[in-house]
Structure 1
């Protein structure tokens, strides 16, 4: 899949939680009179994974893209000065999904003011599953629909690398150069069913290997992923499907999150259906871009 010309995230949203100050970079495409559509990326990706879809669908929707804190062009959250000394190691992880969900909910509500009562369609991938569900169930973000693509949402979680990094943080933090690049590239390669072309691989891995902040950020993402939890959330998933249309899309060959998770998630959410895409792994937007585009187009067209 050839990378499209980059969409610049030209807008900045600032938000503070009880622990961090955040600056989120975002943009929108399409006429403001069109129905809103939001794409949310997971880890270790950025909004770049959605650029082809955003450009195509902006003819029919006002499309919103943003980079989560510490991903893409959005900087890491900055611990609030008078709280930092009392924060635990887990609190200091900028990839904490409770924090990121809270920031997304605030961002969503800032956009919502311009929609004249409309609700947004939300498309989420990877850990954006937990983010979108937390924002809806815990932070009262009301969606028009929710499409979940190979998402982290049903426990237990665990890519083998997560545990390895969490138990050997000092080793991975010390890695540099080609050795560290090899770790990142191997991890990304494992997410795809088909071999990624060099241009795509370089785009996906570059933020994590080009400097020390990137390397430390990648290690933090792995450590946070090891401690993911949906305690107190999964028991409420049944509320989602009763309030809004939900579609689950899954790559049949996803080795990170096996296909059986899709069926469990559908039942818990009372989703309309699961769309299984063959010859696709976790990075379904690169393995089968056309088939994912068809599923998204049919889904969104059925709701308008």
Structure 2
């Protein structure tokens, strides 16, 4: 695969009274084509979308970006100490993403595909920031409680203990955790690529990995979840779920589908949380069919 093609060459900076965000992004394909935005979650980056982007960039104008503190985007800078770093993090992430969408100044609403807690970001964009989507496809998303696996709870409840561990140990935890995201073993090169940002000399580092786990355990979304019923009544929503997801049980997909009034709910067999690598062809087929149905 052409790595240069997926380099996030563009940089967008957004400043608020309390924070400064720097987002690295890129655009693929013909700008005159319908816009398609991919939103990643934790502990990932835009890397997880590369195969799908390659499959679709002749039909759509693809937008890829790394959230602040992920992949190629540096961590959020705080101007003051006005808020805790725990609960507001996804709120801030959605705020930065909303600013990026507005910076793009798209002529028509984009199709959005989101994974993991990128799903909650996408829903905040729609519910809280008033962004319009042509369609929304959610893949094994974090969007309905309760949140946090037993591992997340262990880290959150023993934060000082984990923070005292050597960085190399935390980097090993990150690798072990990422290995559990797929139903089939990841290839060594793919595994290294996904883990790289959390290593001692990676773009983010082990401490950042721990920080996001603690934040996930303290998440509160009641004000957003209460708005879910109107989402499906205003835009077409599809949910795709790897049936063998060991991180988020498949029952959560059905509950989310009901809450959002989703038009489609599809389970993919022999796929875990990271469907992009377990069933790339089936995922591409499902998304292509969905997008074709809702082209404007």
The bucket for the TM-score relative to the shorter chain is over 0.9
Residue correspondence of structure 1 range 256-275 to structure 2 within 5 A:
256-275=247-266
Deviations 1:205-257 (A, max 9, x none): 11111338511110111111111221111111011111111000000001111
Which residue of the partner structure matches residue 38 of structure 1? Answer: 37
Which residue of the partner structure matches residue 188 of structure 1? Answer: 178
Instruction: From the superposition, tell whether residues 4 and 162 of structure 1 become closer, same or farther in structure 2 (CA, over 3 Å).
Output: farther
Match for residue 5 of structure 1 among 3, 6, 11: 3
Which residue of the partner structure matches residue 187 of structure 2? Answer: 197
Residue correspondence of structure 1 range 58-69 to structure 2 within 5 A:
58-69=57-68
TM-score, with length taken from structure 2: 0.95
Q: How far apart are the structure 1 equivalents of 2:168 and 2:262? A: 44
Q: How far apart are the structure 2 equivalents of 1:231 and 1:265? A: 14
Deviation at 1:155, TM superposition (A): 0.6
Deviation at 1:177, TM superposition (A): 5.6
Match for residue 293 of structure 1 among 273, 284, 292: 284
- The question of whether the paired residues in 2 share the 8 Å contact of 1:252 and 1:259 is answered with yes
Deviation at 1:182, TM superposition (A): 2.5
* 1:231 is the counterpart of 2:229: no
- The question of whether the paired residues in 1 share the 8 Å contact of 2:55 and 2:284 is answered with no
- Which residues of structure 1 form unaligned runs of 5+? none
More deviation in 160-169 or 28-37?
160-169
Which residue of the partner structure matches residue 136 of structure 2? Answer: 146
Which residue of the partner structure matches residue 248 of structure 1? Answer: 239
- Which residues of structure 2 form unaligned runs of 5+? none
Q: How far apart are the structure 2 equivalents of 1:105 and 1:89? A: 20
Deviations 1:7-33 (A, max 9, x none): 100001111234210110000001110
Q: How many residues align?
A: 293
Deviation at 1:110, TM superposition (A): 1.4
Q: How far apart are the structure 1 equivalents of 2:206 and 2:187? A: 22
Deviation at 1:174, TM superposition (A): 2.9
Deviations 1:188-215 (A, max 9, x none): 1111111111011101111111338511
TM-score, with length taken from structure 1: 0.92
- The question of whether the paired residues in 1 share the 8 Å contact of 2:114 and 2:138 is answered with yes
- The question of whether the paired residues in 2 share the 8 Å contact of 1:17 and 1:99 is answered with no
Q: How far apart are the structure 2 equivalents of 1:69 and 1:122? A: 19
Q: How far apart are the structure 2 equivalents of 1:89 and 1:297? A: 38
Residue correspondence of structure 1 range 85-164 to structure 2 within 5 A:
86-90=82-86, 96-111=89-104, 113=105, 115-116=106-107, 118-164=108-154
- The question of whether the paired residues in 2 share the 8 Å contact of 1:4 and 1:51 is answered with no
RMSD of aligned residue pairs (Cα, Å): 1.6
Q: How far apart are the structure 2 equivalents of 1:101 and 1:206? A: 24
Q: How far apart are the structure 2 equivalents of 1:109 and 1:145? A: 17
SS in 2 for 1:249: strand
Q: How far apart are the structure 1 equivalents of 2:2 and 2:159? A: 35
Q: How far apart are the structure 2 equivalents of 1:24 and 1:234? A: 27
Instruction: From the superposition, tell whether residues 290 and 4 of structure 1 become closer, same or farther in structure 2 (CA, over 3 Å).
Output: farther
